[in-house]
Structure 1
């Protein structure tokens, strides 16, 4: 009688512990890969934000642009991280089609709660610290100087990274600073150049030279805002505010009133001309030879047209200030 031998079947059996470790490794690799991809995309989006803004026409511009790029990068990382996690969960961890049961009951995780509480706090502190550093470097004397009796912080010019370093306002040689008086009123800008006693409704600035504006309001709160310079300064009535920056890009730009100052505040605009120092002084000498004349004023014109209308609405309107007398009105 022949005996037959049947070999035992060979099976690859993996223990639950091994499967669990493989899943943990796979999840870890997925998280790391996702973080790398999200980080790269967020940095790329942050770099693209520079093209969303006007050309950098002042030395201080890059500080604001860098801050905006940083905020866009952080915002993109958070948005992509949250939406990426949601899509990953929907694609790979969704319930079966006919599974209507409740999910597993999971108790609170103290470590996880501490982490997701600490991260936003640290992120907000990071953004606040960076923003305050930019504010200091720009050297803008804001409304805080009108509220606090003393502002001990040292001001560093953004132009310091280029041609010369400035530790405080007093460190800037007087002869290297172009001084211009800025008068804001309802609804016009007037610029006074003490060097030649010239007045103008068009702001002319020398390129690559520090400019110090003495801002003054004759009536209400106004806002000095040049988007291409990334600069905005509130002009508080009853106070003279010194405001400094350095134009670096010749060209024509727009100045507008960033604060609502009454009925015709939208007409309160002015051209800003940045030119070489030689061209600037040529214009200044030319304007000094002009006799002061009444400048065209859109607010005054619209108000006069309203008075001439046969039908009056009855709405109260503040009468604009008289059109300014200037040597040059563009």
Structure 2
């Protein structure tokens, strides 16, 4: 074995180890690129994203590493203008570089489906999600003093109404309405999503969850908040001129604080909530000159017990 071949083998081993270590490190860094993990489902999604980042980094660094090694150690001489050796093909190499991507795709698909099953998100069979098979797990966080079985079923039902351009949340337990979504932490939540006009998208980045809301269909959507704090709900679908104003605060709090808020909100009489879309529309229509394109007038400000 020549010195050049030994050098190539050593360089390959060292390069493979370096690429693997760097890829794993980059995959770990991907967790810091994302919003806080505020729902149990976010833990699963972030693990999947980290896996994909690690795999992508390994492929990128591997390909660029081979190119860099070739440029540095196998470049032609300064005055060498001769043609390279004629290579007609290598069946083994072609099979390998075809089989590896196929196996990677199946690996990614299997892992992604496993995450989907563990999340256990509910949805209409004919429109959004397939029916959950028996035995499907659900992602939830179990406090130390409670059993897993106690959290396996939804314990808090909330109605969500989306319309141009406002979110309205109804809590059947106390018949309370609000434009701010309050949720108890470490409890399974079931939302009944409904649109009064066009297609909307329920999206909370900190939860890593998004669900399209289809007109004339009620959609059940489940998740488990695990981190108290204030987050942002936004409409992920273009629902018209003022869709960018269609956002709402999401407050995750302890179950005790949640029920205390619910009881307090139940004592308040319904009042009109501030609606940014209606405010902007009123300003536009009050101008003497006509500007922009004609648009749908926003719905009147919703009457809620808690305007936020």
From 91, 112, 119, the counterpart of 1:110: 91
Distance change >3 Å, CA 52–CA 301, structure 1 → 2: same
CA RMSD in angstroms comes to 2.0
Partners of 1:142 and 1:234 within 8 A in 2: no
Please list, as runs of the form range in 1=range in 2, the aligned pairs for 1:92-107 lying within 5 A after superposition.
Answer: 92-107=73-88
Residues 1:225 and 2:206 are matched in the alignment = no
Q: TM-score, normalised by structure 1?
A: 0.88
More deviation, 94-103/144-153: 144-153
Cα distance change on mapping 1:150 and 1:75 into 2, 3 Å: closer
CA–CA separation in structure 2 for the residues paired with 1:165 and 1:105: 65
In the alignment, the residues of structure 1 paired with residue 91 and residue 255 of structure 2 have an alpha-carbon distance, to the nearest angstrom, of: 64
Matches of 2:160 and 2:258 in 1, distance apart?
A: 17
Partner of 1:220: helix, strand, or coil?
coil
Output the CA distance in 1 between the equivalents of 2:40 and 2:116. 14
Q: 1:270 to 1:88 in 2, by over 3 A?
A: same
Larger Rg: 1
TM-score of the aligned structures, taking structure 2 as reference length: 0.94
Query: In the alignment, what sits opposite 1:185?
Result: 163
What is the SS of the residue equivalent to 2:263? helix
Residue in 1 aligned with 2:137?
156
Matched residues in 2 for 1:108 and 1:36: separation? 29
Cα 1:93/1:164, change in 2 over 3 Å: farther
1:295 to 247, 270, 273: 273
Structure 1's unaligned 5+ residue stretches are 1-17
3-state DSSP of counterpart to 1:72: helix
- 1:317 offset after TM fit, Å? 0.3
1:149, distance to aligned residue in structure 2 (A) = 8.2
Which structure 2 segments of 5+ residues have no match? none
Distance 1:242 1:249 in 2: 22
Q: Is the 8 A contact 1:143 1:234 kept in 2?
A: no
Deviation at 1:39?
0.2
Q: Which residue of 1 aligns with 2:106?
A: 125
CA distance in 2, matches of 1:211, 1:240: 16
- How big is the shift at 1:55? 1.2
Do the aligned partners of 2:203 and 2:233 also contact (CA within 8 Å) in 1?
A: yes
The answer (yes or no) to whether the contact 2:194–2:216 under 8 Å persists in 1 is: yes
**Correspondence for 1:52 among 30, 33, 36:** 33
Q: For 2:262, which of 279, 284, 287 is the aligned residue?
A: 284
| Mapping of residues 137-286 of structure 1, within 5 Å | 137-142=118-123, 145-146=126-127, 152=133, 154-159=135-140, 164-165=147-148, 172-173=152-153, 177-286=155-264
1:263-299: CA deviations, max 9, x gaps? 0000000001111111111110110001111111000
